Homo-oligomer: A and B are copies of this chain.
Amino acid sequence: MAESKVSAQQRLKVVAGASFENTGPGTPAGRYLRRFWQPVYHSVDLRPGRPVPLRILGEDFTLYRGEAGGVHLVEPRCPHRGTRLAAGHVEGEDLRCFYHGWKFDSKGQCIEQPAEESFFAKNVCIRSWPVREYLGFVFAYLGEGAPPELPRFPAFEHFDGLVEVDSYLRECNYFQNVENALDMSHVGFVHGDNRASFSGIGLGRALEAEESDWGVSYTFRRPDGRSRVQQFGMPNVFYMTALPTESDAGWQESVFWYVPIDDERHLQFSLHRVPVAGEAAGRFRERRLARRRTIDLAHQELCAKILAGELHLQDVDPNRVDLVRLQDDIAQVGQGVFASHNAEKLGKADVGVITIRRLWRRELSAMVEGAPLKDWKRPADLAPRAWDLEKEGEAELATVREGARAEIVDIRPFVEVDYQLKRLHGQK
């Protein structure tokens, strides 16, 4: 078995692009990510009758919403002469090509070829992929064969409060953000100005990372024995607690997905569970809406200027930008679009980074080798934990209330929506 392990690693090196970073079709990391449902778009951004080109994992698609509201994901080009289908016309749940009017149903079957006297449509079909709408996102299964069940987060569906639906684009490889999730020691420096939010959480010493049924349990243990635990779900999900940004009402829970558009840029899709209801929820929504407008500078553009020496972070107006994202941009994009691992000097505080790389490497090797892969599952009790901020003991975190239904709120700054849609649609 030792021998086969060696051989697996050797093969991994031989396969072109056998790295975490390269996720295009056919790459090992790309094949692995495609075994899991991925959020790829915001439901609110997809209007009926307005197909869009979509770029995810370095691959091009056509995404559209039919007249009855269904969401469909098919190949990017018409098989007749290769014109982009996103320029076509939606008719019912079908899609008609712009150039010569060939028509495809939502499963990709060609059903009309207007200029042909002897139709050969029945022999023509394009590929389609399963999609689901859930908690404000369009999820897609881009792998081979039948999809697994869509993982659910019942505590985000059923409670009295708001689910903030969010996302941002970062101009670097997604894996740098995956690693950053399991790197608590950056918080005190990258977000060091943010004293209100981060004080008392510690600089990130005494960190532990251990493999769980779902991925990695990542723990910061205080000297008094109380601990804060975040859960990483393989291959690219993070489930964490954080102090709320807008009030002093206890911990907030969030789920993040790190999804490559292509290898040079990625989106983090985020859900935040905010347990406020009634009038308080109304005020909360208003403040969020105001913030969507107030933030009028793209953090990606400010980051580019800062890394280019044109601007310093100290000179940025913190009200006009999402500061936390800008700070993470500087740290991660500052590593380069692809961080080099060759010259790294990792320490004990990098235990999370070391652990997630080990799991990924193990699973990719197994996949390339044809060996069995671990069947990652999230048991109901594998959730983040934190201490009570007011009194001794553990905080009470998200619980399901049957019958309750959370309200979904899009909180993306408008400048972020514009920025991310361009790249999601394939522009560089």
Contact = CB atoms under 8 A, between A and B. Distances in A.
Contact of A83 (B86, B100, B335): B335
Contacts of A346: 80
Interface string A110-141: 00011111101000100000000000000000
Interface string A336-377: 100110011111111000000000000000000000000000
A334 interface: yes
A143 interface: no
A307 B310 CA distance: 28
A5 interface: no
A191 to B, nearest CB: 11
A166 to B, nearest CB: 21
Contacts of A188: 101, 114-115
B116 A348 contact: yes
Interface string A303-338: 000111110110000000000000000110011100
How many copies of this chain sit in the oligomeric assembly?
Answer: 3
A287 interface: no
A18 to B, nearest CB: 21
Contacts of A115: 185, 188, 203-205, 347, 349
A86 B189 contact: no
A4 to B, nearest CB: 32
A76 B86 CA distance: 41
Interface string A181-193: 0010110111000
A98 B190 contact: yes
A403 interface: no
Contact of A335 (B81, B86, B422): B81
Given A52-B309, A53-B309, A309-B421, A334 B189 contact: no
Given A330-B87, A425-B309, A100 B189 contact: yes
Contacts of A205: 115-117
Contacts of A17: none
A50 interface: yes
A82 B349 contact: no
Contacts of A50: 312
Given A100-B185, A189-B114, A422-B308, A81 B313 contact: no
Contacts of A118: 348
A101 B98 CA distance: 55
Contacts of A116: 205, 347-349
A101 B205 CA distance: 13
Most chain B CB neighbours (cut-off 10 Å) among A77, A80, A313, A334 = A334
Contacts of A77: 335
A121 B41 CA distance: 44
A344 B307 contact: no
B306 A87 contact: yes
Contacts of A247: none
Nearest to A335: B82
Contact of A84 (B117, B334, B422): B334
A427 interface: yes
Contacts of A339: 81-82
Interface string A84-116: 101100000000011111000000000001111
A349 B100 contact: yes
Nearest to A312: B50
Contact of A344 (B54, B80, B309, B334): B80
A50 B314 CA distance: 9
A426 to B, nearest CB: 6
A192 to B, nearest CB: 8
B348 A117 contact: yes
9 contacts: A54-B309, A81-B339, A83-B330, A83-B331, A84-B334, A100-B183, A114-B203, A309-B425, A310-B427
Interface pairs A-B: 4 shortest CB-CB: A309-B425, A115-B185, A115-B349, A52-B309
Given A81-B344, A98-B331, A98-B334, 6 more contacts: A52-B309, A81-B339, A82-B336, A84-B335, A98-B190, A116-B205
